[in-house]
Amino acid sequence: MSEDQEAQEDELLALASIYDEEEFHRATSAQGGEIQLCLELPPSFKLIVNGNKQTEYDISFLPPLVLNFELPADYPSSSSPAYTLSSKWLSRDQMTSLCKRLDGLWEENQGCVVLFTWIQFLKEEAFAFLDVKSPLEVVRGGNAPVEWKRSEAGVKRAGSLTGEKDKLEPLLELDPRAVLVVDPHTDILPQLLDFDEAQRQKVFDGKVFCCGICFMEKLGSGCLCFKECQHVYCKTCMTEYFQIQIRDGNVQCLNCPEPKCTSLATPSQVKLLVGEELFARYDRLLLQSSLDLMADVVYCPRQSCCQAVMVEPDTTMGICPACQYAFCTLCKRGYHGLSHCKVTADELRGLRDEYISASAEGKKFMEQRFGKRVIQRAVEESFSRDWLNENCKGCPRCGTNIQKVDGCNKMTCTSCKQYFCWLCLGQLTRVNPYSHFNNPSSPCYNQLFQGVDIDEDDAFWSDEED
């Protein structure tokens, strides 16, 4: 084996030992391979998107630069490695500048292996070399491709002899080894954000966290991190928590268990932990609760339908798009035009309290909905009912309301003439009604005048006077 071949083999073996299989892949058919290089971003690196509105993203990872290389037979003694440099997010002129710098590093180290030097430069110095700083700006139009806003490093301004506006022209002729791996008209912003999210998850999966519920230490791959607050709990505890909440219908309460924390789990996180059946229930209830919060959405009152119905502003008529049922959005009965909503006996009983506690605007709305006469009747009947409840008792035989003004506790119904006890409402015999109060086994024994103030001048009443 020649010295060049031995140096090449040692260099490839060294790269394989330093980088894992995702970073370095050695070619099988030739002396070469592929290296994927994730550039080290400064802390708090931001990406700003300028379009219809400006949006800012915190970025920790950008897609890697890919260095494909092949080692000629006389490398490293004479020839440089043949290579291409590709990227999803750098421009062709930026990559051309990097290629020129790699060539310069080879000239400085000619006769020695240079791949590791290239890798270190690309990973650690490329940002400073290209003068890329945070925030990295992206200009984005409606259907236009993403264009990276770059400084004037690497470009020169050329004056026009025809009086046209100045134009920016590349300082360097584009290097054919600089490869742009995406269509220039493709919006790569989603790809950048997806890659950053995937890499963040990869780092999270390798860390150890202590669950705040079971207090056990687990790898991040077995944990769930709430995105807003970054609180971490193990998936076992969160799965049980989510399942209970969804079964109880509390789909709006899948929040972080940390006290006073309002961060919510995302639907993708919920889907990851619960089964398909529970997630379908969660998805359905979440949609329904969202529709319930919309003022212009009601549901068809037919039990067999219950379809969501959009309602036009300033109208009380809803028409179900599924069953074509026209109904009043206030009382949920068939649409009755300008007529007031009809009130059932049960609804009338609760109308008075609702009306009294309502604001001036609420009272006006209720009067328009039910009519002033209905409201007045509800209030009057409610007060009458309260008075009867406080001052009267119902006859145990016919239910007629009886008021006790004076006298003993043996009562006679004014309607059916039944004798009864005012204390226990028990029915008394007509032959000897007072036996109820004289019998020691009776619950009202010796209580004929219980609760009655008797003056000395008062005499006992007869049955006829009672």
Residue ranges per structural domain of the chain: 3-154+171-184, 206-292, 351-392, 395-454
User: Active-site residue among 408, 413, 421, 444?
Assistant: 408
Which comes out higher in pLDDT, residue 342 or 90? 90
The fold for domain 3-154+171-184 equals Ubiquitin Conjugating Enzyme (3.10.110)
Q: Tens digit of pLDDT for each residue in 324-341?
A: 889 988 788 888 887 777
Over 80: is that where the pLDDT of 142 sits? no
Question: Rounded CA gap, 30 and 447, in Å?
Answer: 115
Which comes out higher in pLDDT, residue 61 or 150? 61
Question: Rounded CA gap, 90 and 150, in Å?
Answer: 10
Q: Report the top-level CATH class of 206-292.
A: alpha beta
| pLDDT for res 52 | 67
- Band of the pLDDT at 164, cuts 50, 70, 90? very low
Give me the mean pLDDT over the 85-102 stretch: 89
Q: Tens digit of pLDDT for each residue in 223-266?
A: 999 988 999 999 999 999 999 888 888 887 788 988 888 888 88
| pLDDT for res 344 | 63
Over 90: is that where the pLDDT of 148 sits? no
Q: Tens digit of pLDDT for each residue in 270-295?
A: 888 988 888 888 888 877 776 666 65
Give me the mean pLDDT over the 12-27 stretch: 90
| pLDDT for res 69 | 94
Over 70: is that where the pLDDT of 454 sits? no
Q: Facing residues of 56 across strands?
A: 48
Question: Rounded CA gap, 101 and 127, in Å?
Answer: 13
Q: Tens digit of pLDDT for each residue in 29-85?
A: 888 999 998 877 877 888 887 666 778 888 888 889 999 999 999 999 999 999 999
Question: Rounded CA gap, 152 and 296, in Å?
Answer: 53
Give me the mean pLDDT over the 195-221 stretch: 91
Q: Average pLDDT of the chain?
A: 80
Percent share of the chain, pLDDT over 70: 81
- Band of the pLDDT at 465, cuts 50, 70, 90? very low
Question: Rounded CA gap, 60 and 256, in Å?
Answer: 24
| pLDDT for res 219 | 93
Q: Rounded to whole angstroms, what are the CA distances from 68 to 5, 23, 155, 376, 441?
A: 19, 12, 26, 87, 107
Q: At which residue do the structure tokens 């009655």 appear?
A: 452
| pLDDT for res 346 | 60
Supply the DSSP symbol for 207: S
Question: Rounded CA gap, 273 and 270, in Å?
Answer: 5
> Exposure of 430 by Cβ count < 10 A (0-12 exposed, 13-18 middle, 19+ buried)?
exposed
| pLDDT for res 192 | 84
Q: Which of 351, 339, 358 is nearest to 377 (CA)?
A: 351
Q: Tens digit of pLDDT for each residue in 339-392?
A: 777 766 566 666 666 777 778 877 777 776 677 777 677 666 666 666 777 778
Same fold, 3-154+171-184 and 206-292: no
Whether 256 is a known active-site residue: answer no
- Percent of residues in the chain assigned helix, strand, coil, to nearest 5: 35, 20, 50
Give me the mean pLDDT over the 138-144 stretch: 50
Contact by Cβ (8 Å): 296, 290: no
Say whether pTM exceeds 0.85: no
